[in-house]
Structure 1
């Protein structure tokens, strides 16, 4: 459920359901998909959440692959942990956890205007036994920090015993560290201090990092007092809470059965304040985890500037979408690399220049094929294979040369489009070591060169296509050598502004276009090596395959070669477009917007112009083309403000 589908389709639909039903359905569906064979791969692929080594962090002796963590409030029942772990997180909070279940019948209230969520009880959870059993499934490899709370009515002695029991049980279940929440829920402050003083021996015995949970609304004097105790040496760091008591947030909580809490944008200021206080009091070696109010990448950067080492996402993931961790990771990585000297440019002939030449070769080949399709249609070796002249073919069926011209011109337009896309991806993407651009080129080229064998499906060997493949294949191989990934040096999106929201619809259009063209390429190639014609083709020709076979048995082989070749080329082009749409679209990527515009135009123009030129205008036959043109045009219009945006001298 990437942002381009979440913001446009799923979020509007899910918001119409009761919040508990919506959360249960979403987490259940995601969890179910992740447990299917290949499910996690699909989730990771749709969002391209691969993490760079530059994002690795250390906290309490734990190695974290990313500084962005998942709050336990997003998935309190640990239902979809395997799926959520694919979103680009570096660690996960589990909890709150109490020794016994605490449930509430009150609804969870969404407040979209303020991007807030009101929970009826901050202690609500399924209890130690249920959560430990789910953790034991070990559905992912991310470090898990269990957030533990004593029961609300527990005495200091009882609270200490409950914490000790939960630590022992959850350590066996795979917890990597513990967040001890002893100051939430209006607990008597003397009890909080008494519990804290007894924790030193527990930490030594456990051998796991302990983090103090700091409620957002904990007064400064109490925070200083708590961290000044001799027992404060037990803390490896602190986790700043992501919510405030409802009555303290200005929400009427009278009559509430539990302890209502508000999570949302309004808490960012408090998060920044608490992070600053912790950094000032505890110094640079103390790990600070915060995330209350982080709904945009700019919020995370403000928190890190205030002193936070790690970010914990909750409400922002619900309102901004599952792509938020990736966007924050990209923003943090950009802030890291932009301060360093730029790497040495990659020489033209090392790799990317060869791909540029391959793209130019495809463009030249496409122009030549288009000229042939507009003039003689068939080359001398085609006629030699058939043992017929053009006049003989015309006598067999007066539409046949037009039909073959239609196949060859659409192939030519597709080849030109492929060449433009390849050249642009090499010059602006591969040249700078962008992983997604190299993946698009590699995937598309492998499919494209493999599709050459489709030409043999009906026993026709095309020497010109074979020569082109023999010339271009070495270029592809040379373009893949010494092709290491590099972090992007281009600014990234920081805000959920109007241009970004519109761009999600534009991205959806291009993802749909990519999938549709992929399906079309597979279908056309499949028809080419099996039935050769569809019903609309035969209606245009006014004949049958049997009649053509009787006239010349080799006619079907030649036509099948053209159809299979076009299907393979379309699939090759479609995969490049699909990977661009899934992984490449970003704010300010002007070159990519122009690539999509100029790269798509030749294929669409060729497909429509040749059909109208020869009179093959069956509506149902052309309907997929009309839909594709609509998606293409709508996507470009919606993406324009976002991708063509310029950046001021200061990115922030």
Structure 2
């Protein structure tokens, strides 16, 4: 249905207009009494082999929806009913901001990719807090960032304001310091800066809602030594987990007409790089820090490679645009078959197996 009817219609529209149309439809569907529960009953059927408990939270699938699609948490009931084991909303900033000038979202169909330079466009923390009162069928993490006009020296204040506004409704926080679309933001990934920022967020969360996980999302564009230093810094300060990785500025191997657009690239071209960084993170942390792998997941095999590289959880976004809303259920079914094929009784047994085997 999606490939034959909805996708051709949506792909005739400007990418951001199609995004807003989809979000409005999903938000409205979430308000229909009983609809998201009916959808969850069809698509979100937990399998014991895929169900995990991390940070005291139950994940019915290792597959999650990455940040960037539901920026204001407007359609949580619907997205958490599609078979995702969790989702991220945001990135949200304390104050609303319009983001960068249009156009700022581009499809690269020949590369199964997107380029975005959205610039953290969102309605702000207070409206998100209201939206998060809606029901959910899986944990919802809030991806937090700083406002564009907040100097880096005061960045921690913005992250703490977001935590204060949203801690009661969030199931976790993701510290976003790796978007390429907010000037100067990526400089906060430097080990010392990152350690101070994450330490402040951890302290605020511990004071307001102890036990809530705090993860850090890293860029795929860091030099190997800088990446290792940042991983070590956040591990030492006590972060709950890593998300590897955000979008890239690389344009290697692209063929689509929009390849020269500025912004962060997501989708299939990121698959190999993000998987390699997951394996590196798993080695650096000796498998002791949970990793969420994201970048280029279009199939169960893509997801499985990231799990075998060291990811306990995985996320996608771009593939949902290209493949449609039944993709999570298809990936879950495929993961179960891949685990059985390789003799694993539970997904946790496959986490990092290639790294431990020297792959």
1:111 corresponds to 2:115: no
Report the alpha carbon displacement of residue 315 of structure 1 after superposing the two structures with TM.
0.3
* CA distance in structure 1 between the partners assigned to 2:204 and 2:86 by the alignment: 24
Given the alignment, which residue of 121, 125, 128 partners 2:125?
A: 128
1:519-556, Cα deviation, whole Å (9 max, x unpaired): xxxxxxxxxxxxxxxxxxxxxxxxxxxxxxxxxxxxxx
1:225 is aligned to: 229
- Helix, strand or coil for the counterpart of 1:286? coil
1:16 corresponds to 2:12: yes
Q: 1:179 to 1:243 in 2, by over 3 A?
A: same
Q: 1:199 to 1:117 in 2, by over 3 A?
A: closer
2:243 is aligned to: 239
1:275 corresponds to 2:281: no
* CA distance in structure 2 between the partners assigned to 1:153 and 1:247 by the alignment: 28
Q: 1:230 to 1:92 in 2, by over 3 A?
A: closer
2:332 is aligned to: 329
1:252 corresponds to 2:241: no
Aligned residues of 1:118 and 1:262 also touching (Cα < 8 A)? yes
1:159 is aligned to: 155
Given the alignment, which residue of 174, 177, 191 partners 1:179?
A: 174
Q: 1:337 to 1:168 in 2, by over 3 A?
A: same
* CA distance in structure 2 between the partners assigned to 1:230 and 1:31 by the alignment: 35
Report the alpha carbon displacement of residue 204 of structure 1 after superposing the two structures with TM.
3.7
- Helix, strand or coil for the counterpart of 1:239? strand
Q: Specify every segment of 5 or more residues in structure 2 that has no aligned partner in the other structure, as ranges.
A: 347-359
Aligned residues of 1:144 and 1:176 also touching (Cα < 8 A)? yes
Q: 1:218 to 1:127 in 2, by over 3 A?
A: farther
Q: Kindly tell me the number of residue pairs found equivalent between the two proteins.
A: 331
Q: 1:179 to 1:279 in 2, by over 3 A?
A: same
* CA distance in structure 1 between the partners assigned to 2:148 and 2:283 by the alignment: 31
1:410 is aligned to: none
Report the alpha carbon displacement of residue 334 of structure 1 after superposing the two structures with TM.
2.2
* CA distance in structure 2 between the partners assigned to 1:146 and 1:27 by the alignment: 17
- Helix, strand or coil for the counterpart of 2:199? helix
2:195 is aligned to: 196
Q: 1:30 to 1:163 in 2, by over 3 A?
A: closer
Structure 1, 28-37 or 68-77: larger mean CA deviation: 28-37
1:38 corresponds to 2:34: yes
1:193-214, Cα deviation, whole Å (9 max, x unpaired): 2242253354144122111111
1:458 is aligned to: none
Between Structure 1 and Structure 2, whose CA radius of gyration is higher?
1
1:66 corresponds to 2:61: yes
Aligned residues of 1:121 and 1:261 also touching (Cα < 8 A)? no
Aligned residues of 1:122 and 1:261 also touching (Cα < 8 A)? no
- Helix, strand or coil for the counterpart of 1:50? coil
Greater helix share, 1 or 2? 1
Greater strand share, 1 or 2? 2
Report the alpha carbon displacement of residue 188 of structure 1 after superposing the two structures with TM.
6.5
1:95-143, Cα deviation, whole Å (9 max, x unpaired): 11112223233122212111111212343322222222212x2321421
* CA distance in structure 2 between the partners assigned to 1:19 and 1:341 by the alignment: 40
* CA distance in structure 1 between the partners assigned to 2:25 and 2:140 by the alignment: 22
Aligned residues of 2:40 and 2:137 also touching (Cα < 8 A)? no
1:163-213, Cα deviation, whole Å (9 max, x unpaired): 1111111102x1111111224434464784224225335414412211111
* CA distance in structure 2 between the partners assigned to 1:231 and 1:333 by the alignment: 31
Aligned residues of 2:220 and 2:277 also touching (Cα < 8 A)? yes
- Helix, strand or coil for the counterpart of 1:30? helix
2:357 is aligned to: none
1:407-429, Cα deviation, whole Å (9 max, x unpaired): xxxxxxxxxxxxxxxxxxxxxxx
Structure 1, 122-131 or 326-335: larger mean CA deviation: 122-131
Aligned residues of 1:288 and 1:310 also touching (Cα < 8 A)? yes
Report the alpha carbon displacement of residue 336 of structure 1 after superposing the two structures with TM.
3.0
* CA distance in structure 2 between the partners assigned to 1:98 and 1:60 by the alignment: 25
Report the alpha carbon displacement of residue 155 of structure 1 after superposing the two structures with TM.
3.6
Aligned residues of 1:96 and 1:149 also touching (Cα < 8 A)? yes
What's the TM-score, normalizing by structure 2?
A: 0.83
1:492 is aligned to: none
Report the alpha carbon displacement of residue 267 of structure 1 after superposing the two structures with TM.
0.6
Aligned residues of 2:189 and 2:218 also touching (Cα < 8 A)? no
Q: For the aligned residues, what is the CA RMSD?
A: 2.6
Aligned residues of 1:210 and 1:234 also touching (Cα < 8 A)? no
Given the alignment, which residue of 136, 140, 147 partners 1:140?
A: 136
1:205-241, Cα deviation, whole Å (9 max, x unpaired): 4122111111122222111112233873321110113
* CA distance in structure 1 between the partners assigned to 2:106 and 2:10 by the alignment: 13
Q: Specify every segment of 5 or more residues in structure 1 that has no aligned partner in the other structure, as ranges.
A: 343-486, 488-652
1:623 is aligned to: none
* CA distance in structure 1 between the partners assigned to 2:197 and 2:267 by the alignment: 34
Q: 1:91 to 1:223 in 2, by over 3 A?
A: same
What's the TM-score, normalizing by structure 1?
A: 0.47
